[in-house]
Amino acid sequence: MPDEDITTVNPEEIAGFDKDLVEEKGEGAQKPETSGLYSRVQEMSVAEKIKLATLGNKQAREVLIKDSNKLVAIAVIKNPRIGEDEILKVINSRNISDEILRIIANNKEWTRNYSIKLGLVENPKTPLGIALKLLGHLVEKDLQKLSKSKNVSNVLATTARKMVTQKGRH
């Protein structure tokens, strides 16, 4: 892929969308009213939502990730401008689909971040195989917390308990 700035968007691609849905706002910028944005998104077709999810700014992504259509949520996750802070919010949400969590877990760039690994393991909707694989990357303190947690599967808690015991022996 040639060196291109993925944070800029082709003007033809954003035709039909308001500028405030596509341009990223700086830290000090005022956030658009989320309820107004939510109602505008609800009036869009699935194709328009997918296009906005791919091109939209942070506020648009925050609304679209919660869309009932998985294709829209997947398009948000595949947005090249999505940041690790947004991914952390997604994995800490208990009403996100396991398919989205699987996509995040399979992204090597995101799983380099310890907080994302921990969030994936702690989310009860993360597929068990993925959570077990990530368990080996956690520090003892977090393994102890997981071993006592009622929010994760029994298999995950038991495995975490065994790992803590083994680390105590060495």
Residues 104 and 77: their CA atoms lie apart, in Å, by: 8
List the chain pLDDT tens, one digit each, 170 residues: 343 334 444 545 555 566 667 666 654 444 545 668 888 888 999 999 999 999 999 999 999 999 989 999 999 999 999 999 999 999 999 889 999 999 999 999 999 999 999 999 999 999 999 999 999 999 999 999 999 999 999 999 999 999 999 877 65
pLDDT (0 to 100) of residue 105:
96
List the chain domain ranges: 1-82, 83-170
**H or E element at residue 36:** helix 34-42
In one letter, which amino acid is 6?
A: I
b/e per residue, 28-43, with b = 16+ CB within 10 A? eeeebeeeebeebbee
